[in-house]
Amino acid sequence: MNVTLRVMTDELAAANQERSVTRRRFLGISLASGAALLAGKSDVILAADASTSSNMATNPTFTLGGDFPVNRLGFGAMRITGEGIWSWPADRQSALKILRRAVELGVNLIDTADAYGPNTSELLIAEALYPYPKGLVIATKGGLTRPGPGQWVPNGRPEHLKQAVDGSLKRLRMERIDLYQLHTVDSKVPIEDSLGALKQMQDAGKIRHIGLSNVDREEIDRARKIVPIISVQNRYNIEDRKSEDVLGYCEKEKLGFLPWFPIGGGRGLKPENPLNVAAKAHGVSVFQVALAWLLQRSPVMLPIPGTSSLAHLEENVAAAKLKLTPQEWKAIDALAA
């Protein structure tokens, strides 16, 4: 499994794919809006269903690193930047409103990276939210550089990562980063060297916790010999479960698992598929069903859906209250086969 080669194009491709599949036409259906959901006009706002299967996750929160309790549905701040995850957004004020609204809705885990923009995502987060409210966890990443639009080049050299940490601290207006993640493994640099640099920054008090992104199990094992790891961020959704073994590892070791591109694109699914059926049954969108499925998939799952739309943000957050029946969950889970 060569994760490094995939990540150089997957993040941009995921963003473009999500833009190309509109939320109101995904699989040819049109369903209730987030505003209606939050107004209580559908059954998405529910207490835990007593019929939920014992092997389906029901915990609303997860404690990262033993000291950061977070609501399990976070926010990914990649798409608040400009087109192609490059430069400033066309509507800067809208991006700031989205970040503030996410926190108002109870999101207390925001994921970003110095590569998003580059740098603009971190700057927008600070502009919108500093001084940060108590309990808000900002997770950022370093190790992918952006020479130009559409270009994602790994750089895991120790000197670069140290500079990246300092740059993120300055942009985020922080003295210490809550969770700093190695964005990808650089095939030209041993992971031990990259993590060794982050450990030095942690020892210097600039990083609280360290996580990984776009890695396989062997790389996680190697990393944990250098420094404690509290989370892994890999691509994972209903359709793409190549990181199933990594998720299992995280469950066993109680590491947070942040699935990026958590909603997927719905390609290759027939109109009357279990996602569509569950969405109609609950009067919600298929995107909300996809997020609910992830949340019930594992107690360590921390989805971080991103958006550049306030309405879609509210839909995503409302999905945390949606409880699929065991039959619905199993039918959706079987789509991987």
Q: What's the confidence (pLDDT) of residue 30?
A: 32
In the numeric block, the tokens 């006009």 are attached to 41
Q: What is the pLDDT of residue 324?
A: 97
Mean pLDDT in residue range 302-311: 96
Question: Quick check: 310 pLDDT over 70?
Answer: yes
Give me the pLDDT at residue 12, please: 57
Is residue 184 classed exposed, middle or buried when 0-12, 13-18 and 19+ CB atoms within 10 A define those classes? buried
Q: Is the dihedral of CA 301, 304, 309, 314 positive or negative?
A: positive
**Positive/negative CA dihedral, 231, 238, 329, 337:** negative
pLDDT on residue 52: 35
pLDDT band at 31 (very low <50, low <70, confident <90, very high): very low
Condensed to tens digits (0 to 9), the pLDDT of residues 280-293 reads: 999 999 999 999 99
What tokens were used for 54?
């014992």
The fold for domain 3-336 equals TIM Barrel (3.20.20)
- The pLDDT score that the predictor gives to residue 269 is 63
Mean pLDDT over 313-319 rounds to: 97
Question: How far is it, in rounded angstroms, from Cα 10 to Cα 235?
Answer: 9
Rounded-to-integer distance, Cα 233 and Cα 213, Å: 4
- Mean pLDDT, residues 316-323: 97
Task: Give tens-digit pLDDT for 85-122.
Answer: 999 999 999 999 999 999 999 999 999 999 999 999 99
**Residue 201's pLDDT band (boundaries 50, 70, 90)?**
very high
Q: Give 37-48 pLDDT, tens digit per residue.
A: 333 333 333 223
What are the tens digits of pLDDT across the range 229-281? Answer: 999 999 999 999 999 999 999 999 999 999 999 988 655 566 679 999 999 99
Kindly list the domain boundaries of the chain, sorted by start residue.
3-336
Pick the catalytic residue from 116, 180, 236, 249: 116
pLDDT, position 7: 55
Whole-number mean pLDDT of the chain? 87
- pTM for this entry: 0.87
d(CA 144, CA 250): 23
> What are the DSSP E strand ranges found in 16-81?
61-64, 68-71, 75-76
- In 3-state terms the chain splits into helix, strand, coil percentages (rounded to 5) of 40, 15, 45
In our burial notation (b when 16+ CB lie closer than 10 A, e otherwise), range 247-273 reads: bebbbeeebbbbbbbbbbbbeebeeeb
**Mean per-residue pLDDT for 207-219?**
98
Is-catalytic flag, 116? Answer: yes
Residue 40: count other Cβ atoms within 10 Å of its Cβ.
9
